A and B are shown apart, each in its own frame.
Chain A
Amino acid sequence: MNTNLRRALSAALVTALGAGGLAACGGGDGSGGDGDKTVTLVSHDSFVASDEVLAEFTKETGYKVKVVKGGDAGAAVNQAILSKNHPQGDVFFGVDNTLLSRALDKGLFASYEAKGLDRVPGALQLDSSRHRVTPVDYGDICVNYDRAYFADKKLAPPQSFADLVKPEYKNLLVTENVKTSSPGLAFQLGTIAAFGEDGWQDYWKKLKGNGVEVVDGWEQAYNSRFSGSATGRKAKGDKPLVVSYASSPPAEVMGAEPAPEEAPTGVATGTCFRQIEFAGLLSGAKNTEGGKALIDFLVGKKFQEDMPLQMFVNPANQDARLPELFTRYGVKVEKPATLDKERIAEHRDEWIKTWSSLVLK
Chain B
Amino acid sequence: MAVPLAFFGVFFAYPVASIVSRGLKDGGRWQFARAGEVLTDPAIGHVLWFTTWQAAASTALTLALALPGAYVFARFDFPGKRLLRAVVTVPFVLPTVVVGAAFLALLGHGGLLDELWGVRLDTTVWAILLAHVFFNYAVVVRTVGGLWAQLDPRQEEAARVLGAGRLGAWRRVTLPALAPAVAAAALMVFLFTFTSFGVVQILGGPRYATLEVEIYQQTAQLLDLPTAAVLTLVQFAAVAALLAVHARTVRRREATLRLVDAARTARRPRGAAEWTLLGSVLAVVALLVLLPLAVLVLRSFDGPDGYGLAFYRALGSAGAGGGTLVVPPLEAVGNSLAYALAATAIAVVVGGLAAAALTRREGRLVRGFDALLMLPLGTSAVTVGFGFLIALDEPPLDLRTSWILVPLAQALVGVPFVVRTVLPVLRAVDVRLREAAAVLGASPLRAWREVDLPLVGRALAVAAGFAFAVSLGEFGATVFIARPDSPTLPVAVARLVGRPGEFNYGQAMALSTILMLVCAVALLLLERVRTDRTGEF
In the complex, A70 has a CB within 8 A of chain B: yes
Q: Give how many A-B residue pairs fall within 8 Å (CB-CB).
A: 220
In the complex, A123 has a CB within 8 A of chain B: no
- Decide: A9 near B14, CB < 8 A? Known: A219-B498, A251-B500: yes
Chain A residue numbers with a CB within 8 Å of B324 are 48, 310
Mark contacts of A20-61 with chain B using CB atoms, 8 A cut-off: 1 yes-contact digit, 0 otherwise: 001101100111100000001010011011110000000000
**What is the minimal beta-carbon distance from A111 to any residue of chain B, in angstroms?**
23
**What is the minimal beta-carbon distance from B140 to any residue of chain A, in angstroms?**
28
Measured CA separation A225–B104 after assembly (Å): 10
**What is the minimal beta-carbon distance from A56 to any residue of chain B, in angstroms?**
15
**What is the minimal beta-carbon distance from B400 to any residue of chain A, in angstroms?**
6
In the complex, A159 has a CB within 8 A of chain B: no
Chain B residue numbers with a CB within 8 Å of A338 are none
In the complex, B6 has a CB within 8 A of chain A: yes
Measured CA separation A238–B120 after assembly (Å): 14
Mark contacts of B482-506 with chain A using CB atoms, 8 A cut-off: 1 yes-contact digit, 0 otherwise: 1111000001001101111111111
**Cβ–Cβ contact B18 & A1, under 8 A:** yes
Partner of A70, one of B201, B224, B481, B502: B481
**Cβ–Cβ contact A88 & B502, under 8 A:** no
**Cβ–Cβ contact B505 & A223, under 8 A:** yes
**Cβ–Cβ contact A25 & B205, under 8 A:** no
In the complex, B470 has a CB within 8 A of chain A: no
**Cβ–Cβ contact B304 & A79, under 8 A:** no
In the complex, A68 has a CB within 8 A of chain B: yes
In the complex, B419 has a CB within 8 A of chain A: no
Measured CA separation A255–B320 after assembly (Å): 11
**Cβ–Cβ contact A16 & B2, under 8 A:** yes
**Cβ–Cβ contact A215 & B505, under 8 A:** no
In the complex, B221 has a CB within 8 A of chain A: yes
Which residue of chain B has the shortest Cβ distance to A49 in the bound complex? B326
- Decide: A29 near B403, CB < 8 A? Known: A70-B482, A238-B109: yes
**What is the minimal beta-carbon distance from B268 to any residue of chain A, in angstroms?**
42
In the complex, B85 has a CB within 8 A of chain A: no
In the complex, B77 has a CB within 8 A of chain A: no
Partner of B479, one of A22, A71, A230, A361: A71
Question: Which B1-52 residues have C-beta < 8 A from chain A?
Answer: 2-3, 5-7, 9-10, 14, 18
Q: By the criterion of a CB under 8 Å from any partner CB, how many residues of chain B are at the interface? A: 77
Chain A residue numbers with a CB within 8 Å of B222 are 349, 352
Partner of A312, one of B18, B201, B391, B499: B499
**Cβ–Cβ contact B500 & A252, under 8 A:** yes
Q: How large is the interface on A (under 10, 10 to 19, 20 to 34, 35 or more residues)?
A: 35 or more
In the complex, A130 has a CB within 8 A of chain B: no
In the complex, A177 has a CB within 8 A of chain B: yes
In the complex, A309 has a CB within 8 A of chain B: yes
- Decide: A79 near B18, CB < 8 A? Known: A216-B206, A220-B202: no
Chain B residue numbers with a CB within 8 Å of A244 are 500
In the complex, A210 has a CB within 8 A of chain B: no
Chain A residue numbers with a CB within 8 Å of B111 are 236
**Cβ–Cβ contact B389 & A82, under 8 A:** yes
Chain A residue numbers with a CB within 8 Å of B206 are 177, 179-180, 214-216, 360
Measured CA separation A340–B2 after assembly (Å): 55
In the complex, B74 has a CB within 8 A of chain A: no
**What is the minimal beta-carbon distance from B88 to any residue of chain A, in angstroms?**
26
Measured CA separation A349–B394 after assembly (Å): 32
Measured CA separation A238–B403 after assembly (Å): 44
In the complex, A66 has a CB within 8 A of chain B: yes
Partner of B110, one of A10, A30, A89, A235: A235
- Decide: A69 near B483, CB < 8 A? Known: A225-B109, A312-B499: yes
**Cβ–Cβ contact B404 & A222, under 8 A:** no
Of the listed residues B18, B222, B491, the one surrounded by the most CB atoms of chain A closer than 10 A to its CB is B222
Of the listed residues B400, B403, B483, the one surrounded by the most CB atoms of chain A closer than 10 A to its CB is B400
In the complex, A78 has a CB within 8 A of chain B: yes
Sample (15) of A-B pairs whose CB atoms are under 8 Å apart: A45-B479, A48-B324, A66-B485, A68-B483, A68-B485, A70-B385, A83-B400, A102-B223, A214-B206, A216-B201, A219-B497, A224-B101, A225-B109, A231-B505, A236-B109
